[in-house]
């Protein structure tokens, strides 16, 4: 019972169409009861409850307008049915209409405040990106979409190198500027369909819907070069380690997918020795079927280091190629 009440009074938890239809049926019921019991019991005040639920839960304003007009018609017909004087009909109808409009207005304000609070709760104050809560919500929806419709998505984790040294040498204000700069670079260089979040500290994550591994790798290479150039231009001696995973089948959880990308990021960070000025990218890949031997391949050149790391199956020895 408590859960039902909570869902009913919280915007977007209950299906809007369900709330709308249920509230309209409630108004029809109130109208019928009013006509049945005559003027002995005036139930007009009850119309504010279905109106409140519709105004709070339904985004489409025309649904709200329809509900207000319907309640106004029902109440006018009820007053006429009572056979009271014309002046009383008009006075009572105006009062009822004013109460309905005020109720709807308060409900729409509450809906707006709830939306603002929900946005603030899922937003990182420093960068304006999503925070961990916002990321988990986006990633969970992406997994649900993949389970229902198929397809793939990629998850990218970015961590700044030598960020602590930057804080220690130039102060936390410089570190904050570097984080805001990274957020700006990510927003400017990614697609509108990608979702960016700051997990905490100097760790960021990107959800890339409908992105194959090869496309993700290309985006990560471009992103890594851009981050390095922008940080250098701003006078920040930091680079980025980037790890990614491509989910061709739905992962068991958001945490499991994030762990794979996180492991790949730490694999990239482990290659930092002697490569502090180069981009480092590591990809965590789902192991191939048992009949195909897993391969560990490492490619290195002056521009980047790309590692494709796979989990070996028991009893199978990996082959290494340069």
Locate the domains of the chain by residue range: 2-121, 132-321
pLDDT of 212: 93
Question: What is the average per-residue pLDDT within 243-266?
Answer: 92
Tell me what the mean pLDDT of segment 74-79 comes to.
92
Give backbone dihedrals phi and psi of 254, rounded to 5 degrees, phi first. Answer: -65, -40
Q: Tell me which residue has tokens 């519709």.
A: 54
**What per-residue confidence (pLDDT) applies to 316?**
31
- pLDDT over threshold 80, residue 287: no
pLDDT at 279: 40
Single out the residue of 191, 223, 183 nearest to residue 207, CA to CA. 191
Kindly state the average pLDDT of the residues 261-282.
Answer: 65
Catalytic residue among 159, 161, 194, 202: 202
Average pLDDT over residues 108-123: 89
152-174 average pLDDT score: 92
Residue 310 is predicted with a pLDDT of 36
Dihedral angle, C-alpha 288, 290, 293, 295, nearest 10 °: 30
In the predicted model, what is the mean pLDDT of the chain? 82
pLDDT of residue 108: 94
Q: What confidence score (pLDDT) does residue 43 get? A: 81
CATH 3.30.590.20 matches 132-321: no
Q: Which residue has the higher pLDDT, 317 or 204?
A: 204
Split at pLDDT 50, 70, 90, the class of 2 is: low
Q: Is 202 among the catalytic positions?
A: yes
Average of per-residue pLDDT across 56-63: 92
Report d(CA 146, CA 300) in Å as an integer: 34
Q: Look at 7-11, 269-273, 308-312 and tell me which has the smallest mean pLDDT.
A: 308-312
pLDDT band of 300, cuts 50, 70, 90: very low
Other residues' Cβ atoms within 10 Å of the Cβ of residue 168: 11
How far is 277 from 224, CA to CA, in rounded Å?
Answer: 11
């Amino acid at each position: 019972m408590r859960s039902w009440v909570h869902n009913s009074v919280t915007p977007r938890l209950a299906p809007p169409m369900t709330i709308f239809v249920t509230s309209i049926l409630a108004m029809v019921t109130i109208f019928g009861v009013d006509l049945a019991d005559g003027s002995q019991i005036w139930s007009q005040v009850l119309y504010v409850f279905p109106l409140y639920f519709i105004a709070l839960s339904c985004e489409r304003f025309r649904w709200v307008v329809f509900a207000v007009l319907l309640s106004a018609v029902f109440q006018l017909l009820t007053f006429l049915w009572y056979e009271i004087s014309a002046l009383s009909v008009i006075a009572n109808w105006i009062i009822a209409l004013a109460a309905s409009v005020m109720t709807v207005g308060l409900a729409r304000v509450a809906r707006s405040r709830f939306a603002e609070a929900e946005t603030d709760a899922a937003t990182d104050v420093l960068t304006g990106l999503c925070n961990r809560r916002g990321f988990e919500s986006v990633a969970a929806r992406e997994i649900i979409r993949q389970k229902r419709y198929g397809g793939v998505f990629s998850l990218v984790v970015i961590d700044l190198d030598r960020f602590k040294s930057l804080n220690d040498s130039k102060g936390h204000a410089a570190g904050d500027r570097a984080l805001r700069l990274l957020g700006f670079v990510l927003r400017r260089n990614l697609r509108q369909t990608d979702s960016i979040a700051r997990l905490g500290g100097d760790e960021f994550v990107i959800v890339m819907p409908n992105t194959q591994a090869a496309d993700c790798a290309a985006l990560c290479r471009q992103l890594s070069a851009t981050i390095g150039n922008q940080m250098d231009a701003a006078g920040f001696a930091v680079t980025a380690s980037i790890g990614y995973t491509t989910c061709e089948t739905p992962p068991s959880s958001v945490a499991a997918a994030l762990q794979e990308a996180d492991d790949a990021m730490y694999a990239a960070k482990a290659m930092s020795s002697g490569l502090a000025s180069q981009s480092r990218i590591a990809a965590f890949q789902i192991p191939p079927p048992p009949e195909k031997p897993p391969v560990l391949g490492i490619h290195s050149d002056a521009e980047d280091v790309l590692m494709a790391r796979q989990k070996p199956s028991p009893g199978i020895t990996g082959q290494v190629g340069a």
